[in-house]
């Protein structure tokens, strides 16, 4: 199976680091023109765009806070100005503000819901409006557009001390599935990815040293994930190779969601 995303344009939110940066690189390597959205970190997003362009690809870094409607509208308008159309959205931006519920401020609750859930709503809405206007681009893709919502194993696994994050990802799952039900007949494909523990900035403390040993007890496959594990799946879900996959969440977690605590128990 050979995957080509030639002539397609992909927008990846939160592409200045981690999974977003890896997804942008992989999409570009598959032939897509890529918009790398960043929030505050312009330099790494611009450096990655320059690297993709130097390698013969097409990339552009565009700033914008996904939780702000005006920023999102501008981000998508600038994408169309630069590349003329949009075929793929990877709604990836996310953050954590951890605390036990009794100590959690309303501000930290609102920040996480705004970026992780409302941000995905605003980006999906902007993308679907464009996909509807464009329709199917014959010879480019069988779908009129594809959205990949970056969720987490915590759309399924409750996570004490992270109630805002787990609630946001539970919301992402139903946003994704409901949207898939709503727009599939327009041949827009909506899917999600639920990563387990992937080595990035968001979970550095949990994936290094003694903490990594503890973490590995929760991962039957016996290793922490790499950005490429997720990036390769993003490319597949964005391509016609997965054309009949609609409204699904792909868990990329080394088996973390298999209740590994039950091994030898129960």
Q: Does 36 bind ligand NAD (CB under 6 A)?
A: no
Cα(200)–Cα(197) distance, rounded to whole angstroms? Answer: 9
How would you class 29 by CB atoms within 10 Å of its CB: exposed for 0-12, middle for 13-18, buried for 19 or more? middle
**165, 221, 244, 259: which one is catalytic?**
165
Q: Does 147 bind ligand NAD (CB under 6 A)?
A: no
Smallest separation, CB 191 to ligand NAD (Å) = 15
Minimum CB distance to ligand NAD smaller for 168 or for 242: 168
Angle between helices 163-183 and 119-134 (to 10 degrees): 20
Q: Does 257 bind ligand NAD (CB under 6 A)?
A: no
Q: List 61's β-bridge partners, or say none.
A: 36
Minimum CB distance to ligand NAD smaller for 13 or for 242: 13
Q: Does 78 bind ligand NAD (CB under 6 A)?
A: no
Q: Does 59 bind ligand NAD (CB under 6 A)?
A: no
Please indicate whether residue 221 is annotated as part of the active site: no
Cα(233)–Cα(21) distance, rounded to whole angstroms? Answer: 14
Q: Which two tokens stand for residue 180?
A: 């898939």
Smallest separation, CB 207 to ligand NAD (Å) = 8
The site string for ligand NAD over 204-243 (x = CB under 6 A, - otherwise) reads: ----------------------------------------
Among 5, 12, 52, 65, binds ligand NAD (CB under 6 A): 65
Cα(65)–Cα(83) distance, rounded to whole angstroms? Answer: 21
Nearest alpha carbon to residue 144 among 3, 249, 240, 2 = 240
Residues in 83-122 that interact with ligand NAD by CB under 6 A: 92-95, 115
Q: What are the DSSP calls for 157-195, one per residue? A: S--TTBHHHHHHHHHHHHHHHHHHHHHGGGTEEEEEEEE
Smallest separation, CB 65 to ligand NAD (Å) = 4
Smallest separation, CB 138 to ligand NAD (Å) = 33
The DSSP secondary-structure symbol of 7 reads T
Q: Which two tokens stand for residue 129?
A: 């409006």
List active site positions. Answer: 165
The residues binding ligand NAD (CB under 6 A) are: 13-14, 16-20, 38-39, 41, 65-67, 92-95, 115, 150, 152, 195, 197-198, 200-203
């Amino acid at each position: 199976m050979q995957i080509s995303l030639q002539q397609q344009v992909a927008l990846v939110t939160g592409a200045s680091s981690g999974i977003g940066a890896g997804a942008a690189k992989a999409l570009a390597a598959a032939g897509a023109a890529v918009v790398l959205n960043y929030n505050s970190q312009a330099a790494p997003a611009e450096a990655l765009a320059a690297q993709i362009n130097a390698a013969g690809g097409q990339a552009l870094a565009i700033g914008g806070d996904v939780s702000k409607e005006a920023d999102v509208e501008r981000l998508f308008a600038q994408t169309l100005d630069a590349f003329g159309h949009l075929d793929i959205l990877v709604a990836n931006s996310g953050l954590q503000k951890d605390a036990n519920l009794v100590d959690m401020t309303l501000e930290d609750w609102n920040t996480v819901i705004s970026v992780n859930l409302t941000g995905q709503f605003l980006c999906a809405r902007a993308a679907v409006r464009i996909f509807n206007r464009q329709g199917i681009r014959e010879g480019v893709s069988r779908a009129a557009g594809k959205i990949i919502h970056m969720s987490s194993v915590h759309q399924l696994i409750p996570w004490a001390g992270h109630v805002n994050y787990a609630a946001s990802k539970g919301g992402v799952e139903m946003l994704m599935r409901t949207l898939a039900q709503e727009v599939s007949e327009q041949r827009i494909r909506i899917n999600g990815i639920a990563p387990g523990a992937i080595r990035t900035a968001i979970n550095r403390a949990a994936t290094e040293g003694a903490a990594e040993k503890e973490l590995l007890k929760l991962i039957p496959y016996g290793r922490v994930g790499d950005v490429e594990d997720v990036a390769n799946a993003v490319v597949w879900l964005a391509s016609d190779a997965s054309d009949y996959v609609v409204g699904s969440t792909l868990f990329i977690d080394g088996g973390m969601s298999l209740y590994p605590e039950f091994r030898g128990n129960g």
